[in-house]
Amino acid sequence: MKKTLKDMDFKGKKVLVRVDFNVPLKDGKVTDTTRIKAALPTIEYLIREEAKVLLISHLGRPGGEVKEDLRMDPAAKELANLLNKEVKKADDSIGEDVKNAADNLKNGEVLLLENSRFHAGEKANDPEYAKALASLADLYVNDAFGAAHRAHATTVGVTEYLPSAAGFLMQKELNALGEVMENPERPFVAIMGGAKVSDKIDVIKNLIKKVDYLIVGGGIANTFLLAKGYEVGDSLVEEDKVELAKELMEEAEKIGVDIVIPEDVVIADDFAEDAESRIVKSDQIPAGWQALDSGGTESLKKYKEIIKNAKTVIWNGPLGVFEMEKFAHGTIELAKALAESDAHSVIGGGDSAAAINIAGVADKMSHISTGGGASLMFFEGKELPGVAALDDVE
């Protein structure tokens, strides 16, 4: 058991909190505040406990140098609006000026440090950068589940120098994901979509041992169709993963797990919104055409039947190129079917969460994870570095 906020006394202490404010920006404004809102319970608790709150996050991929368009100022502004309170903003994450700003904080005040990835030492988990960060505070809290799969200075390095605990969001994520992986109500269904099998191999291998049904969709499904000996035209496939797909299907069959591949797919003559498209049987994709949505009529019928009877469903990755409206049908319909079911539903962040939002059914899901990569690593059965590094309850 990892320490949580309730295991620490914060009054008058400077607390370095790793948050996930890696938010989308347009014209210097935050376009989606979901991640900032997710951190509010922890931040508000620390304010009430009279802590001096120092927040640190990465934003985008500045490559270890200062990029003016990736400063944290827009996030500071949004956070101030949400807290209805002043949020001070530092121009760096370490250094004398930052140390002075931290030392001058009063109980209950909030200081947002600059983008951690402006320093190459963040991604390299450099001890010098981690030590400089840790010197700003007395305690450390990790509330950034979305970055917990990274062994960076702000997620792992600082724990070498400060007593540490999990924030409320981190705790909520670990409980929600842990519950479905350790003690799912059955039938237990996993939906794995997205572009590449290679991204999901370890997840599929781990899930086969746990689920009753594994629905494969998106580009992943094409590789399984090829493994079945079907012609897939110009569809996205990973030729070097065909043997693996065969092995996974054989293994699943041995242990009585049903790997559900599409019976029919939406194909197009071009990877474009205005392409000509039609639904064909999965073994009848003509040369020059590509499958862009694995939610054809018959496929959806089967998926919906499985979901209707399911008690637990986890979902990671869309069924097709859902960014194009023409090829979003399968993903949207599956989201609606899940919303109407009685199943306990856990959505694995990233594109899956975006698809659920597009379908307008986010409020009908049991849990939508804030971390795509982190939830995938969790579904693989691996320990997340940012969680492993936190102090255990004695």
Tens-digit pLDDT profile for residues 290-348: 999 999 999 999 999 999 999 999 999 999 999 999 999 999 999 999 999 999 999 99
Sign for the CA dihedral angle at 101, 102, 106, 112 comes to: positive
Is 35 known to be catalytic? Answer: yes
Q: Is 281 a catalytic residue?
A: no
Q: Distance between CA atoms of 232 and 242, rounded to whole angstroms?
A: 12
Closest CA to 316 of 184, 209, 242, 214: 214
pLDDT for 19-71, tens place per residue?
999 999 999 999 999 999 999 999 999 999 999 999 999 999 999 999 999 99
Residues 6+ apart with CB under 8 A from 85: 47, 110
Confidence (pTM): 0.92
Which of 60, 95, 373, 381 is catalytic? The answer is 373
Catalytic pick from 13, 35, 117, 304? 35
What would the pLDDT profile of 225-261 be if each residue is shown by its tens digit?
999 999 999 999 999 999 999 999 999 999 999 999 9
Q: Report which of 24, 55, 20, 46 is spatially closest to residue 35, judged by C-alpha positions.
A: 20
What is the rounded CA–CA span in Å between residue 214 and residue 194? 14
Domain boundaries, the chain: 5-169, 176-379
Active site annotation includes 350: yes
Is 311 an annotated catalytic residue? no
Catalytic residue (one of 196, 210, 364, 382) = 196
CA distances (Å), 312 to each of 242, 343, 347, 367, 369, in order? Answer: 29, 5, 11, 12, 15
Choose the catalytic residue: 350, 371, 372, 386: 350
β-bridge mates for residue 260, sequence order: 215
Q: How far is CA 49 from the centre of its chain?
A: 29
Instruction: Quote the radius of gyration of the chain (alpha carbons, Å).
Output: 23
- Judge whether 5-169 and 176-379 match in fold: yes
Task: Round to whole Å and give the CA distance between 143 and 17.
Answer: 7
176-379 CATH: 3.40.50.1260
More confident residue, 197 or 207: 207
Q: What is the CATH number of domain 5-169?
A: 3.40.50.1260
